[in-house]
A and B are shown apart, each in its own frame.
Chain A
Amino acid sequence: MKTTIKLLVLIISGSMIFTACKNKGGGPAPTVYYQQQDQVGRPAINTVFNVSTADKEAFNITVPSAMQAAFQAKFQARLLALNAGYTTNALGLDAPTFTTVLSNDVLGVSTTGKTTFFDGTNVLTGRALDDDVIHTELLLIFGGTKGTDNPGLTDDNVPANDVAFSTTFPYEAMPH
């Protein structure tokens, strides 16, 4: 009797393993879906214009087409809190217009010409590795119409990366 039971257990478990092995190889793998965690368009926008942790978190998982409705008014309030004297900037944008641009956090990229965040002539046509984006953004927030207001705040005086970039792919420098 004991032997019969042992034998039965062996047969059953063996067939279960066999079945499991059969199922492992069969059928397509289920589709993997990925849920958004973080997002960046232009540099430092979330840092500078969103204050609360809740807003920072929300900004990271708001699709760009919904950002303006959710964040433009907050950005405008923040801009004026940063610089109560803001009227316009070197691009000629008043507070509502500037923050409308900023709250649509996407990086504009030219497909026909020079790509740069700002080089004095070209504006928001891309972002090159050596663009001084911090200086540009500080200038647009604090510099006023001519870029000469608030001189202590419009430039962090770090105009370049610590190591040179390459002119060939992948362009970024070797790690330290």
Chain B
Amino acid sequence: MKRKKIVFLAIVAMAVVSGGIIYASDHIDAPSVTNQTTDITDLYVFQGANTNDLVFVGNTQGLLTPATTGAAKFDPKTLIQFNIDVNNDNIEDLVIQCIYDAASNTMKVYGPIKPTAPGLVSKLEGSVTASVGITPYGASAPIVTTKNGISVFAGPRDDPFFFDLDQYHAVLAGTASGFRNPGVDAFAGTNVMSVVVELPKSMIGGTGSVNVWLTTKKAM
């Protein structure tokens, strides 16, 4: 029992909680991205309702509340990029790039397209393949654009992540030695800024399986 508690405290110590500030990505992340528009919360990739399609969901700016969501915005200097490796070498063969344009209040999507060069530095590749107006907070229905077979959404959404993070806090405080049952979702009632792109699998290719990761990049 004591050993379990020590082990669990070790995990909790790793879940970065400091001075009441909860870092967000994966949802708990490094200080340099905390509370920035570059702060990723989650990546999801799954078959669409049409199983010929893949859906890419990239969420940023977590722990938005109803009080703070209205003011949340995408950042024209933050590139949100899905990276796709089709030959299992963990180097991106294709990218789907999402960048906010303030003048038109739209999210512009580039790709899927082979990047000029893989790695930490990117530039926008090719021309815009689809774009969508940002769905405002409070809209009764999401704004969706479909073009060239690609559907896009961009705007605030309920945070789809669920986890009893508060129970971690209880263990850190020494008032619990394990998870409670039932657990309580610490992310219930919170929002994120979300980009959702659905497109035909044929645009991705590969031989049955691909590797995907999400990156945010800041204009230099």
Binding site for B on A (CB under 8 A): 31-41, 43-51, 53, 56-57, 59-61, 63-65, 67, 78, 81-84, 104-112, 114-116, 125-129, 132, 134, 150, 152-153, 155-158, 160-163, 165, 167-176
CB distance A152 to B49 under 8 Å? Answer: no
Q: B157 on the interface (CB 8 Å rule)?
A: yes
A34 to B110, CA, bound (A): 14
Min distance, Cβ B180 to any Cβ of chain A, angstroms: 7
- A111 contacts B46, C-beta separation under 8 Å: no
* B198, chain A: closest CB distance, angstroms: 6
Can you list, as one digit per residue, whether each of B152-194 has a CB less than 8 Å from chain A (1) or not (0)? 0100111011111001000000000111111111011111001
What B residues does A65 contact at CB under 8 A? 89-91
- Given A36-B215, A47-B28, A170-B144, 18 further pairs, Cβ under 8 A: A31-B123, A36-B122, A38-B25, A39-B216, A45-B26, A47-B14, A47-B25, A64-B85, A64-B90, A82-B7, A109-B209, A128-B44, A129-B57, A157-B183, A170-B57, A173-B160, A175-B137, A176-B66
CB neighbours of B153 from chain A (8 A):
169-170
15 contacts between A and B (CB under 8 A): A34-B218, A38-B38, A38-B40, A40-B26, A40-B213, A44-B28, A46-B28, A56-B30, A65-B89, A67-B90, A78-B14, A126-B44, A126-B46, A169-B48, A172-B160
Residues B47 and A36 in contact, CB atoms below 8 Å apart: no
**A169 and B212 contact, CB distance less than 8 A:** no
B209 and A158: CB pair below 8 A? no
Considering the chains assembled together, what is the distance between the CA atoms of A118 and B215 in angstroms?
23
Q: Tell me how far the C-beta of B51 lies from the nearest C-beta in chain A, rounded to whole angstroms.
A: 9
**A residues less than 8 Å from B42 (CB atoms):** 40, 43
A contact residues around B4 at 8 Å (CB) = 150, 152-153
Q: In the bound complex, how far is the Cα of B9 from the Cα of A82, in angstroms?
A: 9
Partner of B85, one of A106, A152, A157: A106
CB-contact partner of A106 in B16, B28, B179, B212, under 8 A = B212
Q: Which residue of A lies closest to B138 (CB)?
A: A175
In the assembled complex, the CB of B177 is this many whole angstroms from the nearest CB of chain A, namely: 7
Inter-chain contacts of A111 with B (CB < 8 A): 54, 201, 204, 206, 208-210
A50 to B177, CA, bound (A): 22
Q: Is B10 an interface residue (CB 8 A)?
A: yes
Within 8 Å of chain A (Cβ to Cβ): is B11?
yes
Contacts A33-B122, A111-B201, A172-B158 known; A56 to B16 CB distance under 8 Å? yes
> Of A33, A40, A64, A153, which is in contact with the most chain B CB atoms at under 10 Å from its CB?
A40
C-alpha gap A154/B4 in the complex (Å): 12
When chains A and B are docked, how far (Å) is the Cα of A175 from the Cα of B26?
19
Q: Inside 8 A of A45's CB, which chain B residues have their CB?
A: 26
Whether B137 and A32, one on each chain, are in contact in the complex, defined by CB atoms closer than 8 angstroms, is no
A39-B214 contact given A56-B16, A153-B8, A175-B191, CB 8 Å threshold: yes
Out of A34, A50, A127, A173, which one reaches B220, CB within 8 Å?
Answer: A34
Whether the pair B151, A165 counts as a contact (CB closer than 8 A) is no
Cβ–Cβ contact B10 & A81, under 8 A: yes
A43 — nearest CB in chain B belongs to which residue? B26
Nearest chain-B residue to A112 (Cβ)?
Answer: B208
**Residues of A contacting B55 in the complex (Cβ-Cβ under 8 angstroms):** 169, 171
Nearest Cβ distance between residue A127 and chain B, in whole angstroms?
Answer: 5
Q: How far is the CB of B1 from chain A (nearest CB, A)?
A: 9
Which 3 pairs across A and B sit closest by C-beta, in order of nearness? A152-B178, A34-B217, A162-B188
| CB of A104 to closest CB in B, whole Å | 6
- On whether the beta carbons of B7 and A127 are closer than 8 Å, the reply is no
Question: B135: shortest Cβ distance to chain A, in Å?
Answer: 9
